Amino acid sequence: PRLSTITYFFKMKQKNAIVFLAWGNRFIDEVCSCIAKSKPYISEYDLILITDEDSDTSGIEDQVSRVIHAPFELTGLLRKTEIIKFLPDNYTGFLFLDSDTIVVQDLSLGFEKAKLHGIALSPAPHYSLDAFLDFDRIMESEIVPRSGQLQYNTGVIFFSRSPRVMEVFDAWGNLGLRHQDFRNDQPFFSLAMEQLAFNPYTLSISYNYRGIGQAISGDVRIWHSHGKMPLKINDY
C-alpha cells in the first residue's frame, strides 16, 4: 500500500498537459477538430485552451479541462510568445500544439525528452534563422551573428517547467514585445535559445510533419497542416 501511495503521488507530480492557443470561432473550431481527430493519443492528458477575453468558448468547454481567458498585450501570432504567463502551475510538463495539427501516434517520447532536456521540438528544415523573411535585421539589432543557425518550428513544443526553460520563454516574450513589427513568433523562439545558449532536444520532423515538400522516414506522429491529411498516412 505504501508503494502504491508513493507511485500515485509521483504520477501526480509528473502531470502533463496539452496546451492550445486560439481565439475567434474559426480557430477555436480548429482546436475542436484537432481534439476530435487526435483523441486516441491525447485522452490521457489534460487539455487547456488559452484564448482572449472576448472569444465565445461555450462550444469547446466540455472538451477541455480548462479555458483560460488571457489579457494579451500583443496581437496575432505574437500572442504565442506570451503563453508562459498564463499557464497553470499544477503541471510539470506541457505540449503546445497549433490548432491546425492532428496527433496520429504516441507522444510519450516528446514528454520524456522535455523532462530530460527542458525543451523538445522539431526543426523547420527549409528555413535558416538569418534568412527567414527579413529576420536578419532583428538578429543584427540583437547583436547575434548571422551564421545560418537552425530554425525550429513552434507549432509543436514539448517543454518542462524548469527555471532554465522559463528563461527561454521569458526571453521569447521579451523579443516579441521589443520587435512587434515582425509579426511571426517562430524565429523569436530560436533566437531566444541562441541568446541563452540553450540546447533543446531535436525531435525528428515526424513530430511536426508539414506535408507539402517534406520527405518522411518512419511514421508521422503529428500532422501539422491546413491541408487534408492523407488517409492511412502511416501505411507504407
Going 181 to 185 to 187 to 193, the CA torsion angle's sign is: positive
> 3-state DSSP call for residue 102?
strand
Q: What sections of 2-107 are H helices per DSSP?
A: 2-13, 24-42
CA 165, CA 119: separation in Å to the nearest integer?
Answer: 7
Contacts of 93 (CB under 8 A, 6+ apart): 14, 15, 16, 17, 111, 114, 115, 158, 159, 160, 161
Dihedral of the CA atoms 42, 226, 211, 185 (nearest 10)?
-80
Residue with cell 528563461: 167
Query: What distance in Å separates the CA atoms of residue 37 and residue 62, rounded to the nearest whole number?
Result: 16
Please identify which residue in the block is written with the cell numbers 511571426: 184
Q: Is 128 exposed, middle or buried (0-12, 13-18, 19+ CB in 10 A)?
A: middle
- Shortest CA distance to 191 belongs to which of 138, 235, 117? 138
pLDDT at 9: 40
Query: If you search the block for the grid coordinates 498564463, which residue do you land on?
Result: 86
Q: What's residue 13's pLDDT?
A: 57
Number of Cβ atoms within 10 Å of the Cβ of 124: 21
Are the C-beta atoms of 77 and 97 separated by less than 8 Å?
no
Q: How many CA atoms lie within 13 A of 50 on its CB side?
A: 21
pLDDT at 126: 86
Output the tens digit of pLDDT for each of the chain's 236 residues. 444 544 444 444 579 999 999 999 999 999 999 999 999 999 999 999 999 999 999 999 999 999 999 999 999 999 999 999 999 999 999 999 999 999 999 999 999 999 999 999 999 988 899 999 999 999 999 999 999 999 999 999 999 999 999 999 999 999 999 999 999 999 999 999 999 999 999 999 999 999 877 888 889 999 999 999 998 899 87
- Identify the CA nearest to 135 among candidates 124, 123, 126, 144: 144
Q: Is 21 helix (H, G, I), strand (E, B) or coil?
A: strand
